[in-house]
Amino acid sequence: MGDDVAVSLDLSNYELLWPAELLVSEGERILRVSDRTSGSSWVDRATWLITEALAGTTAVADFEELPDRDAPTDNPWSSTTPGWGSRAGTGKREWFTALINRAGELRHAAAPRPYWPQRRGNGLSNDGSTPRDPRRDFARLVGEFEDKGYLVEVFGEECVDDHSELPDASEVIDRRLGIPDLWPLAPETWDEDTFYGLIEVFHDLVSRPRIRRYHSYGGCGWHHSEFHNGPARVLYRWKVNQLLREAGIEYELAAEGEDLGRLVAVTDDARSQLVHRALNDSPPDTTAGVRHAIALFRGRDASAESKRSAIFNLARILEERRALIKEHLGKDEGALFEIANRFDLRHRRADQRGEYDQAFLDWIFWWYLATVELTNQLIASRNPPTQHV
């Protein structure tokens, strides 16, 4: 992001509400956009980003009291009184650049340490109320996104100066999910399928407004514009997956692949890394097959038949690479395909074995996916990237 800025920035009073990587990407974008081309002051954009990404108002207050200039000055008369996170003579752009450069050092906001009732072990949740309900927590989370303008692009936004009819939010959801009357959200009425369906639907609906302006006439309030669904979906997945983990629900929203934004079974870190490499490192002629196989296997409603189909897709890729595998494994390459051929996975012949635990399907899938990833590496080693001088 260019040269580091020598600013003494005290980060101890700031806490992240976002993934650090998302704060960096959105912050770097603000710094690239000039006032002449943005249509809105970069300071307004930066203030809005800090408001969203950091807990409380401390960071915003520190930023707002700094002079609006690009570089520090030695003139003592132009200095402002520094805040806790600033230094006399530091300008807004310099401070903001330093914040973005050091975002990885920020700690994430955490729930407060247990209070007296929790320490006494009375069985209440962290806020001293009844046990947490993930459905209600999700409804509150969607409400937070709505308050910040993340649903304005699809639901519209009221304005005292604009009397246009807004889209019917229930109809917007109904067209996607096929269930009417789901807005406003009423979590006490949801069954499991509706709950999980809404999680996936709102992933596709959220869009981050990068600009907001205050309309004071008639107390109208904030208006939002310049929407982008990329950062919104990153943030949404991060928050929803955190909610699901805390509730002990063993699903998460997929961050990549054919099933992007859909609930998939949670795996350990090693297998998650394997999926990431297989999705991103496969040659173009096999990428679609790998993506489809992973989506078939890890879907929330994946059946034994879906898993067989996933294995079949991977086995087909390996068949196409059989000569490469034989070159490196010799005669032992046949063992790789014997299981797929002798068990009820691909050809479905009468002489094949079909009575086995579904755990077998998991084992063979991960074995085959690891082998696809291995052959990707072998192919890449044969075709190293061209070095440009």
Token pair recorded at residue 249:
């629900």
Q: Residues 209, 304: one domain?
A: no
Q: Is residue 348 part of a domain?
A: yes
Q: Residues 84, 166: one domain?
A: no
DSSP H helices, 247-298, are 269-281, 284-298
- At residue 122, the pLDDT reads 61
DSSP letter (8 states) at residue 206: -
* Domains held by the chain: number: 3
Task: Please give the Cα distance from 268 to 288 (Å, whole number).
Answer: 24
- Tell me if residue 217 falls in helix, strand or coil: helix
Pick from 28, 18, 42, 7: nearest CA to 226: 42
- At residue 3, the pLDDT reads 46
Q: Is residue 231 part of a domain?
A: yes
Q: Last residue of some domain: 195, 220, 251?
A: 251
Q: Residues 286, 378: one domain?
A: yes
Q: Last residue of some domain: 222, 251, 280?
A: 251
Could you give the dihedral angle defined by the CA atoms of residues 124, 126, 130 and 131, in that order, rounded to the nearest 10 degrees?
-90
Q: Is residue 282 part of a domain?
A: yes
Q: Residues 353, 378: one domain?
A: yes
Q: Residues 377, 271: one domain?
A: yes
The torsion region of residue 252 among left (phi > 0), alpha (psi -120 to 50) and beta comes to beta
* Integer angstrom CA distances of residue 160 from 148, 219, 226, 331: 19, 9, 20, 77
Q: Is residue 288 part of a domain?
A: yes
Q: Residues 141, 244: one domain?
A: yes
- Can you give the pTM of this predicted structure? 0.85
Token pair recorded at residue 30:
């603000």
Decide: 167 and 234 in contact? Cβ < 8 Å. no
Which residues constitute the domain of residue 216? 133-251
Which residue ranges in the chain fall short of pLDDT 70?
Answer: 1-6, 34-40, 69-89, 121-131, 331-332, 340, 342-356, 384-389
Q: Residues 242, 282: one domain?
A: no
Q: Residues 280, 373: one domain?
A: yes
Q: Last residue of some domain: 251, 277, 293?
A: 251
Q: Residues 99, 146: one domain?
A: no
User: 281-333: per-residue pLDDT in tens?
Assistant: 999 999 999 999 999 999 988 888 899 899 989 999 999 999 998 888 776 67
